[in-house]
Structure 1
Amino acid sequence: MGPRRRPPPLSPDRSGRICPAVQGGDTVRLSLLPKKSEFFVLFEQHAQNAVEAAEALAKLLGDFTDVENKVRDIHAIEHHGDKLNHEIVRHLNETFVTPLDREDIVGLASRIDDITDVCYDVSELVQLFKVTSIRPPAVRQAKVLVTAATEVLAMLKNLEGLRNLEPHWIKIHTLENEGDQVWRDAVAELFAGSDDAIEIVKWKDIYSLVETAIDRCEDVANIVETIMVKHS
């Protein structure tokens, strides 16, 4: 019986990965760090897309020029969000063991997608109603929405490690309350300051849709809070 062959030496490469040398000078790279779950990568991308939709809507409402192109841009962002949502569902259907409960994965994907969808719905409604100028409360609502969507993204970046989540969902709840107040003030001002029934209906619908987008941000926060309870 011949001498036992010793295993190849292990040495880290520049990235810090352990690389056993093999015959011919090649190496086999073994990562010591676990790969980030595809679900969390997709959640971050989905949330980033929602932030971009909210920012694009705020840009439309804050600078009401070149409306057709701005609405088209929001539609493109919404379409990308649909693709990301479908990718999450596809990956879920192909994965046997998931890092989160399946209903939570579906819920997160759906609610993030809703944020983007509603941003497009608002832009489409503004165009459909042939709005000629934007009322200031809508601009204030859009700013709250951008901040809330940004908090959603920051929260989801921490989701895999289940760390530092609470400050984000508390902030989102606070922003949702702020959005409610802006909506109430806007509707009260609308009914008090206009005798044009059509104008009232138009703007009440627009205000309500922007508020819906903010509510969907809170829905994401509620799901994350539930996930945290399950894993505590």
Structure 2
Amino acid sequence: MGLRSPEGPTFFDLLSAQADQLVTGVGLLATMLGASPEERVALRDQLHEVEHAGDEVNHQVVRRLNLSFVTPFDREDLGFLAARLDDCMDLMDEAGDLIVLYGLNEIPDDVSELIAHQVDVLTRCADQTAKAMPGLKSPLDLREYWVEINRLENEGDQAYRRTLTTLFDSGLDPVMIIKLKDVIEVLESCADAFEDFANGIESIAVKES
């Protein structure tokens, strides 16, 4: 059977759905930081469900790429965008899982506040991404978006370095330092994935110009 135009949600619809799920996911992650151990388990489970839903949307993008004869942008670019959004969700889910698995229930206030700043950067990245997706049909009009994500990623880099410095100076048990460092690095990787996604949109805009 030859390639055809599949029915159902468009690529733009699917990418928008992925972006909306990131907003939900990071909201759950942010709530986890101030929750009790029992509440964290429930929130982690909810985050898993959102991640699974994101996986399904990503699979829909891949299936649509395999069935479509004509795509609005290069296949590789659309696949790249979907994969980076999936990376963002996977990393949020990983951070939430580590918080529960490591039993990080008594984080010093100064370290906790800095981790919250990292998550706040991700929250703003997710919000900006969800708001930008309806405009993806005209990527040239999204310059403000990718510039802002780049700025947020730079802010995230600074938060990451401050958090590590504070952690290493905290006098905590070395095992606890290692556990917290894992979470901090996953959050930093998530900010990087948002920047990679935004850079992908910029690349598409250059091709379309």
TM over 0.5: yes
The answer to which of 187-196 and 57-66 deviates more is 57-66
State the AA in 2 paired with 1:222: N
State the AA in 1 paired with 2:41: E
Residue 103 of structure 1 corresponds to: 76
Q: What SS is found at the alignment partner of 1:96? A: coil
Q: What SS is found at the alignment partner of 1:97? A: coil
Q: Distance in 1 between the 2:117 and 2:66 partners?
A: 40
Higher relative contact order (Cα pairs below 8 Å, separated by 6+ residues) = 2
**Match 1:209 to one of 179, 186, 199:** 186
Does 2:51 match 1:78? yes
Residue 183 of structure 1 corresponds to: 160
Q: What SS is found at the alignment partner of 1:230? A: helix
Q: Is the 8 A contact 1:62 1:139 kept in 2?
A: no
- Note the C-alpha offset of 1:64: 4.2
Q: Which runs of 5+ in 2 are unaligned?
A: 1-7
Q: Distance in 1 between the 2:76 and 2:189 partners?
A: 22
Residue 61 of structure 1 corresponds to: 33
Residue 5 of structure 1 corresponds to: none
Cα 1:140–1:62 change in 2 (3 A) is farther
Q: Distance in 1 between the 2:172 and 2:95 partners?
A: 23
Cα 1:108–1:64 change in 2 (3 A) is farther
Q: Distance in 2 between the 1:131 and 1:172 partners?
A: 29
Q: Distance in 1 between the 2:136 and 2:85 partners?
A: 14
Bigger radius of gyration, 1 or 2?
A: 1
Residue 44 of structure 1 corresponds to: 16
Runs (4+) off by over 2 Å: 62-65, 161-164
Bigger fraction of residues in helix = 2
Residue 115 of structure 2 corresponds to: 138
Q: Is the 8 A contact 1:64 1:133 kept in 2?
A: no
Residue 93 of structure 2 corresponds to: 120
Cα 1:74–1:195 change in 2 (3 A) is closer
Residue 20 of structure 1 corresponds to: none
Q: Which runs of 5+ in 1 are unaligned?
A: 1-35
Q: Distance in 1 between the 2:62 and 2:189 partners?
A: 24
The answer to which of 131-140 and 209-218 deviates more is 131-140
Q: Deviations over 1:84-143 (max 9, x none)?
A: 000000011000111010110110000001111111100111111111134221111111
**Match 1:160 to one of 108, 114, 137:** 137
Q: Is the 8 A contact 1:152 1:220 kept in 2?
A: no
Q: Distance in 2 between the 1:159 and 1:96 partners?
A: 20
Q: Distance in 1 between the 2:134 and 2:153 partners?
A: 20
Q: Distance in 2 between the 1:217 and 1:130 partners?
A: 27
The answer to which of 59-68 and 110-119 deviates more is 59-68
Residue 22 of structure 1 corresponds to: none
Aligned pairs, number: 197
TM-score normalized with structure 2 length: 0.90
TM-score normalized with structure 1 length: 0.81
- Note the C-alpha offset of 1:171: 0.6
- Note the C-alpha offset of 1:206: 0.6
Q: Distance in 2 between the 1:93 and 1:51 partners?
A: 28
Q: What SS is found at the alignment partner of 1:193? A: coil
Q: Distance in 2 between the 1:231 and 1:64 partners?
A: 49
Residue 208 of structure 2 corresponds to: 231
The answer to which of 77-86 and 160-169 deviates more is 160-169
**Identity between Structure 1 and Structure 2 (%):** 36
